[in-house]
């Protein structure tokens, strides 16, 4: 589970840096649209930021991504453990 926690932490840092949202407001169940107010444009921007952060190409649209834990699963499914921990 260390890998999951580390990826989640990195995703929270991306959200904090890109959208200027305090990390203390973020948890696994934070809804990106309802709680953070992200729109379709923001979700595209977030996917690009995650691709840069994890050096991956996301092979799935963000339409089915609702919470931070969904982002973690998406990143895990698109990367190897060694890349995720780099």
- Confidence band, pLDDT 50/70/90 cuts, at residue 82: very low
The per-residue pLDDT for 15 is 98
| Position with higher pLDDT, 81 vs 3 | 3
End-to-end Cα distance, the chain: 16
CA–CA distances in Å: residue 4 to residues 11, 34, 82: 11, 23, 12
Name residue 67's beta-bridge partners: 31
Query: In terms of CATH architecture, what is 2-84?
Result: Orthogonal Bundle (1.10)
3 state DSSP class of 37: coil
**Residue pLDDT, tens place only, 21-66:** 999 999 999 999 999 999 999 999 999 999 999 999 887 778 889 9
Q: Residue ranges of the domains in the chain?
A: 2-84
């Amino acid at each position: 589970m260390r890998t999951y926690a580390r990826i989640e932490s990195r995703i929270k840092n991306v959200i904090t840096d890109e959208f200027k949202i305090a990390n203390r407001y973020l948890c696994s169940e934070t809804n990106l649209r309802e709680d953070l107010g992200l729109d379709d444009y923001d979700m595209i921007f977030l996917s690009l930021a995650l691709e840069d952060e994890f050096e991956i190409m996301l092979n799935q649209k963000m339409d089915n991504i609702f919470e931070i834990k969904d982002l973690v699963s998406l990143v895990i499914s698109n990367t190897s453990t060694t890349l995720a921990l780099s």
